[in-house]
């Protein structure tokens, strides 16, 4: 279906095209100078000591958990209200995901108190996901981690440059992971980044992303080495220079893009804040956010009603989505099922409305008017 207003619009133009062409003409397209430049620039924007570019965020999460020492049969506490990759990374290590609920219908981040309730002698780490670019309660979570000697991995794929108490998301825990998938704030098509302030994690991450090899192809091509050793069983998790070149252009655009998204969010909130049939998650959030998505939650609703409202919006030419189906309900996670009433209500009644920097005020009014009309129609 061709939507009048899509869910997302890619922020690409001739600059990305030129960057790709320049890289191709350089005749070095695999991991090389553009990747190193992208890592340095991304790390500097976040205030992180180290950054390692990877093929996607899923492998960043896998490496992060491996680096902090998660092993077979260890338990890792995580949200269910997330994309399944957050939890799949735990299973890649044959560890056990332990699902924690969210804080409330208006704060869709993992609940620190439920985290603490679910800690056992087998718990090794906590994975948090900063939903929509809005921060988890990292003060409380880091207190819990310190109390029980646990590691914290931040899934910050929604939150490039989002802030919490003066720090960028992804730099508060032991390791932060970011996504550059096609619909993310920063897009390279596929791609990810691991950031940390721990030099040991950084050096090992570089080894693990490229087969455990002590030197990369680009190093050898420049004559810095003619041989290499393999010192650990690693993976092929590298990013290539074509995607890194796109990423560099995207980093030049990100601040302006996020400022526009913040303005768009204000319009949405102003138009919907007085509705007694709709919840706006994070409505009173004060920190700077990437505003990756704009979620709303229907009050006193059901899965069936939510889907009918989405169908009406689609008929009006407005594309919507849901973020997310609950991971603990998936067939593959049935053995790890836990009752999570708040997460389950959100998964059944959340609607993600269009959010991108070129969205106009008139388009937002059109979206919200049709949302209000559809929700009222199915409430009577």
Which domains, and CATH codes, for the chain? 14-250 (3.40.640.10), 255-377 (3.90.1150.10)
Q: How far apart are CA 337 and CA 154, in angstroms?
A: 22
Q: Which pLDDT does position 73 carry in this prediction?
A: 98
Q: Which pLDDT does position 215 carry in this prediction?
A: 81
Q: What angle do CA 49, 54, 58 make, to 5 degrees?
A: 110
| Sole residue written with tokens 């680096």 | 67
Q: Which pLDDT does position 285 carry in this prediction?
A: 95
Cis peptide before 324 (omega within 30 of 0): yes
Helix axis angle for 241-272 and 361-377, nearest 10°, is 60
> Which neighbouring-strand residues pair with 52?
194
- In this structure, what is the dihedral angle of CA atoms 64, 66, 70, 76, given to the nearest 10 degrees? 40
Q: Which pLDDT does position 223 carry in this prediction?
A: 67
- Three-state DSSP at 354 gives coil
To the question of pTM greater than 0.75 for the whole model, the response is yes
Nearest to 75 by CA among 134, 14, 150: 150
Q: Which pLDDT does position 307 carry in this prediction?
A: 97
- Host H or E run for residue 163: strand 163-164
Q: Which pLDDT does position 377 carry in this prediction?
A: 87
Q: Which pLDDT does position 108 carry in this prediction?
A: 98
Tens-binned pLDDT, residue by residue, of the chain (380 aa) = 688 999 999 999 999 999 999 999 999 999 999 999 999 999 999 999 999 999 999 999 999 999 999 999 999 999 999 999 999 999 999 999 999 999 999 999 999 999 999 999 999 999 999 999 999 999 999 999 999 999 999 999 999 999 999 999 999 999 999 999 999 999 999 999 999 999 999 999 999 999 999 887 667 666 666 788 999 999 999 999 999 999 999 999 999 999 999 999 999 999 999 999 999 999 999 999 999 999 999 999 999 999 999 999 999 999 999 999 999 999 999 999 999 999 999 999 999 999 999 999 999 999 999 999 999 888 75
Q: Which pLDDT does position 17 carry in this prediction?
A: 98
Q: What is the DSSP letter of 372?
A: H
CA 355 remoteness from chain centre:
15
Q: How far apart are CA 250 and CA 263, in angstroms?
A: 20
- Three-state DSSP at 34 gives helix
| Sole residue written with tokens 């009752």 | 339
Residue 106: CB atoms within 10 A of its CB come to: 14
- Three-state DSSP at 183 gives coil
Q: Which pLDDT does position 220 carry in this prediction?
A: 66
Strands 163-164 and 151-155, sheet pairing: unpaired
- Three-state DSSP at 184 gives coil
Nearest to 248 by CA among 62, 9, 44, 56: 44
Per-residue tokens: 39 = 């890592």
The predicted-structure confidence for 155-192, as pLDDT tens digits, reads as follows 999 999 999 999 999 999 999 999 999 999 999 999 99
Strand order across the 278-279 sheet = 278-279, 294-298, 350-353
């Amino acid at each position: 279906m061709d939507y009048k207003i899509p869910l997302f619009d890619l922020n690409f133009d001739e600059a990305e095209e030129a960057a790709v062409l320049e890289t191709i003409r350089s005749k070095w397209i695999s991991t090389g100078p553009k990747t190193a430049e992208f890592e340095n620039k991304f790390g500097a924007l976040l205030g992180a000591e180290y950054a390692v570019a990877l093929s996607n965020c899923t492998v960043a999460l896998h490496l992060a958990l491996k680096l902090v020492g998660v092993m077979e049969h260890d338990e890792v506490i995580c949200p269910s209200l997330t994309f399944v990759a957050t939890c799949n990374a735990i299973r890649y290590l044959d560890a056990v995901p332990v699902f924690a609920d969210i804080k409330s219908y208006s704060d869709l981040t993992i609940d620190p108190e439920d985290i603490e309730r679910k800690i056992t002698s087998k718990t090794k780490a906590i994975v948090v996901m900063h939903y929509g670019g809005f921060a988890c309660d990292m003060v409380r979570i880091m207190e819990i981690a310190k109390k029980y000697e646990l590691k914290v991995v931040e899934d910050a794929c929604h939150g490039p440059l989002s802030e919490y108490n003066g720090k960028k998301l992804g730099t508060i825990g032991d390791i932060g992971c970011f996504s550059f998938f096609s619909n993310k704030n920063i897009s390279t098509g596929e791609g990810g980044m691991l950031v940390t302030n721990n030099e040991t994690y950084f050096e090992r991450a570089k080894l693990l992303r490229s087969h455990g090899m002590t030197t990369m192809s680009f190093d050898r091509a420049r004559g810095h080495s003619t041989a290499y050793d393999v010192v650990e069983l690693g993976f092929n998790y590298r990013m290539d220079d074509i995607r890194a070149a796109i990423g560099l252009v995207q980093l030049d655009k990100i601040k302006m893009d996020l400022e526009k998204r913040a303005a768009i969010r204000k319009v949405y909130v102003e138009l919907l804040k007085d509705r007694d049939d709709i919840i706006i998650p994070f409505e009173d959030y004060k920190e700077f956010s990437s505003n990756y998505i704009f979620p709303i939650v229907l009050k006193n609703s059901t899965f069936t009603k939510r889907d009918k409202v989405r169908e009406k919006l689609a008929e009006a030419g407005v594309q919507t989505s849901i973020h997310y189906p609950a991971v603990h309900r998936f067939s593959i996670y049935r053995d790890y099922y836990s009752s999570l009433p708040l997460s389950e209500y959100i998964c059944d009644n959340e609607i993600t409305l269009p959010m991108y920097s070129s969205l106009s005020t008139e388009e937002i009014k059109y979206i919200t008017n049709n949302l209000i009309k559809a929700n009222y129609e199915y409430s009577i």
